């Protein structure tokens, strides 16, 4: 089987830490990356979840929304229709 080279740029500190981790579990960095490639090809997906949390559902924002709802229900504040913009 012919081999090919895959080149990627990573932060210098991340590479050093990655190399150290791989060494600590008995792998070379190349072997670890090959494990990743094989997992992607076998599973036909990235083998871990990649997500960005929706800031609307953050605990801080939920607390703010609940406080605002309580204020509206107690007669404070003013409810209004959604104002649409072209932005």
27 vs 36: CA distance, rounded Å: 12
Structure tokens at 86: 């072209």
Name the one residue in this structure whose structure tokens are 């932005």: 87
72 vs 69: CA distance, rounded Å: 5
Which uninterrupted H or E stretch holds 13? helix 12-24
pLDDT class of 21 with cuts at 50, 70, 90: very high
Is residue 70 included in any domain, yes or no? no
Is residue 72 included in any domain, yes or no? no
Is residue 55 included in any domain, yes or no? no
Work out how many domains the chain is built from and give that number: 1
Is residue 20 included in any domain, yes or no? yes
83 vs 77: CA distance, rounded Å: 17
Is residue 81 included in any domain, yes or no? no
Average pLDDT over the chain reads 92
Is residue 37 included in any domain, yes or no? yes
Supply the range of the domain harboring residue 30. 12-43
Range among 21-30, 43-52, 59-68, 72-81 with highest mean pLDDT value: 21-30
What's the farthest any 2 CA atoms get from each other in the chain? 74
């Amino acid at each position: 089987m012919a081999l090919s080279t895959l080149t990627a740029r990573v932060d210098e500190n991340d590479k050093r830490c990655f190399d150290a981790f791989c060494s600590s579990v008995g792998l070379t960095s190349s072997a670890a990356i090959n494990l990743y490639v094989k997992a992607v090809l076998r599973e036909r997906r990235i083998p871990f979840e990649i997500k960005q949390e929706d800031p609307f559902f953050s605990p801080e924002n939920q607390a703010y929304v609940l406080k605002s709802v309580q204020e509206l229900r107690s007669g404070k504040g003013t409810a209004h229709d959604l104002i649409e913009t072209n932005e």
